Amino acid sequence: MQKLAIILPCYNEEDILPKTITTIKKLLTNLIKSKKVSPSSKICFVNDGSKDKTLEIIRKTCLQDKLFCCINLSRNFGHQGAILAGMNELAADLYVTIDADLQDNPECICEMLEKIDEGCDIVYGVRKSRTTDSWFKRTTATCYYRLLKLLGVNIVYNHADFRMMTKRAVETLKQFPERNLFLRAIVPLIGFKYAKVYYDRTKRQAGETKYPLPKMVALAWNGISNFSIIPLRFVTFSGFFVCFLSFIFLCYVVYNWSAKGTIVGWASTVTIITIFSGIQLISLGIIGEYLAKVFIEVKKRPLYIVESKIGCEN
Ligand code: UDP
Ligand code: MG
């Protein structure tokens, strides 16, 4: 029987944690009873530098019940770093990562286990629809997935970070030393046999989202710039295109000058300068963004730092 580790990243989740603890415990106890996973399986909370009572609640639970364990990070490293810490720091045969607010249906874990039995190494949890999202989130998410596809980034549509991976897949993931983490696009690069499990995502039942718009935009930009160089190519092509236009314009100017004498055109000059200054600034910005990525990568700073662990040994 395989040891399952259920990894739950937590950042200021004191409101929802009591409910999460009961639900996940019930689920894992049933899986152990029905001999689907080993009795040594664990529910692992990764405390991502919470400022509320999250750590206190987790610590108390871990001390009371051997089913639970905790990896406490030294500060807030972000959702992606927290997930990675859980998978790297806990020994298990199977890993499933799921948000602590249980918006993703934990019952899917049973179906995921069946897919693993069928020989898959990765099982993606995929949302059936986005009806529980706000109009804004639904529209931006759909456009974003389309854009990623257009830019050649291989990503599972409507899959976030609810997935099951075998030890072999997690070990392979460690060969990707990126600092700018966007796991949902790295995992498909691993290969191996995979499957998808579909579920309805519910609304958050307590607490607030820990992904405000700026964080979401940063993650979305990571998804594009870490996996596609097409924006850089776009800069090059727009450069060529602008040169071509300038050449035509130059021919026109020379013709006007020789045929009719020069005409002083203030409006056209200002327009052209404004447009091309804009294009140049955007182009420089895109190049700068990629340079910044290289800057972050070369420093090789740790993606997470573990301050303490509770009950992770066995
Ligand atoms: N999270 C985290 N660190 C962060 C932000 C979020 O560990 O810096 C966790 C959070 O506690 C939750 C999961 O990541 O378990 C997803 O966050 P949330 O539910 O707020 O995102 P949303 O579902 O609104 O996109
Ligand atoms: Mg959530």
Sheet holding 122-127, edge to edge: 194-199, 122-127, 159-166, 94-97, 4-10, 42-47, 68-73, 306-310
Same domain, 70 and 33: yes
More confident residue, 239 or 84: 84
**Residue 9 CA, closest ligand 1 atom number:** 7
Same domain, 105 and 203: yes
The mean pLDDT value for 130-137 works out to 83
**Angle made by CA atoms 125, 127, 130, in degrees to the nearest 5:** 160
- Please report whether residue 225 resides in a domain: no
Q: Which domain holds residue 135?
A: 4-211+303-310
- Residue 263, pLDDT > 80, answer no
pLDDT per position as a tens digit, 270-308: 778 878 887 888 888 888 888 888 888 888 889 999 999
Same domain, 158 and 251: no
- Please report whether residue 221 resides in a domain: no
Q: Which residues line ligand 1 (CB under 6 A)?
A: 9-11, 13, 48, 76, 78-79, 82, 99-101, 103, 209-211
Same domain, 167 and 247: no
Structure tokens that stand for 209 in this block: 């989202």
Same domain, 295 and 204: no
- Residue 104, pLDDT > 90, answer yes
Percentage of the chain modeled with pLDDT above 90: 54
More confident residue, 93 or 205: 93
State residue 29's pLDDT score. 97
Phi and psi based region of residue 13 (left: phi greater than 0; alpha: psi -120 to 50; beta: remaining): alpha
Structure tokens that stand for 217 in this block: 């935009």
Same domain, 95 and 164: yes
Same domain, 120 and 188: yes
Reference 302, options 66, 81, 39; nearest CA is: 81
Q: How many CB atoms lie within 10 A of CB 51?
A: 10
Same domain, 241 and 200: no
**Residue 103 CA, closest ligand 1 atom number:** 23
Spacing, Cα 212 to ligand 1 middle (Å): 10
**Residue 78 CA, closest ligand 1 atom number:** 8
pLDDT per position as a tens digit, 178-228: 888 889 999 999 999 999 999 988 888 888 888 888 888 888 888 888 888
- The CATH number of whichever domain residue 131 belongs to comes to 3.90.550.10
Domain count for the chain, please give it. 2
Same domain, 203 and 142: yes
Same domain, 9 and 118: yes
Distance of CA 81 to the CA centre of its chain: 10
Spacing, Cα 211 to ligand 1 middle (Å): 6
Identity of residue 245: L
Same domain, 96 and 155: yes
- Please report whether residue 175 resides in a domain: yes
Q: pTM above the 0.75 mark?
A: yes
Rounded distance between C-alpha atoms, residue 159 and residue 137, angstroms: 14
**Ligand positioned closest to the Cα atom of 209:** 1
Reference 199, options 127, 97, 103; nearest CA is: 127
State residue 60's pLDDT score. 96
- Please report whether residue 220 resides in a domain: no
Spacing, Cα 10 to ligand 2 middle (Å): 10
- Please report whether residue 156 resides in a domain: yes
